[in-house]
Amino acid sequence: MSETKQTNPPTVITLTLPTPTRGGIPPEEATATLLIQRGDLAQVRQFHYHGMLADLTDAIRKASETLGLIEECPPVIPELPKEKKGKSKRKAKADTPVDDGEPTIEVPLKKGTQAVKMSHIKIVAGETDAAAYRQATMLAGRLIDGKLWDGKTPIRFENVTEVAKKMKHLTEKDLSLFTLDDFVQSASEDVEETSEESTETEPATLL
């Protein structure tokens, strides 16, 4: 009679450290990313890295403690209801976007591009010139690739530079552990934007 041994899944820790300067020391207030995973559960966190071993051990300790709490009370993810075949055609027809004549911009994705209304990508603070808008468009593509945004609702960047720093070392898998509101402001299409127009800038032509 053989006994089946139950083995605990290994703990996988992935560290993404900022690029060091010529002296081997990372830039001041540099941000590092730590992904800790055990089985089907994972936790990602960002922390300031000053080139000290204590920064890494402290981040690993805190991440391990948090993962332990998640394991004690794992989140319950409900299964999506199965869609009936008879309704698939009607739903596909209802989801077809209506062309209202508003200009769109091609957002670059990992594979191809996606047309998004220009009013759906706006910058409300920080740099608002054409270069910043191009960068916002690139970041919007990463949000689509990471399944955080579908490109069909408006998003607002409070500060493109800060969002770029936060997303710099995150992979598509890492992004799936965040929510859209962790990076941008989300809004419904019927939100009145008159108060924002004074602080937002949309370049007429992107080079």
Between residues 29 and 152, the one the model is more confident about: 152
What token pair was written down for 132?
A: 């910043």
Other Cβ atoms within 10 Å of 142 Cβ, number: 22
**Separation between Cα atoms, residue 145 and residue 135, nearest integer Å:** 15
Query: Domain locations in the chain?
Result: 11-72, 103-207
Average pLDDT for residues 125-152, to the nearest whole number? Answer: 86
Q: Which residue has the tokens 């990508």?
A: 121
Q: Which of 28, 47, 52 is nearest to 36 (CA)?
A: 47
Whole-angstrom Cα distance, residue 20 to residue 30?
9
Q: Is 50 exceeded by the pLDDT of residue 161?
A: yes
pLDDT at 207: 43
Q: At what angle do helices 130-145 and 160-167 cross, to 10 degrees?
A: 40
The whole model's pTM is what? 0.47
42-73 pLDDT, tens digit per residue, is 878 787 777 778 888 888 888 888 888 877 87
Q: Which two tokens stand for residue 198?
A: 């004074």
- In sequence order, the β-bridge partners of residue 15 are 34
Nearest to 142 by CA among 190, 107, 116, 192: 107
State the Cα–Cα distance between residues 170 and 160, nearest whole angstrom: 16
Give the amino acid at 77.
I
Q: Say what the pLDDT of residue 30 is.
A: 73
Name the band, by pLDDT with cuts 50, 70 and 90, for residue 196: very low
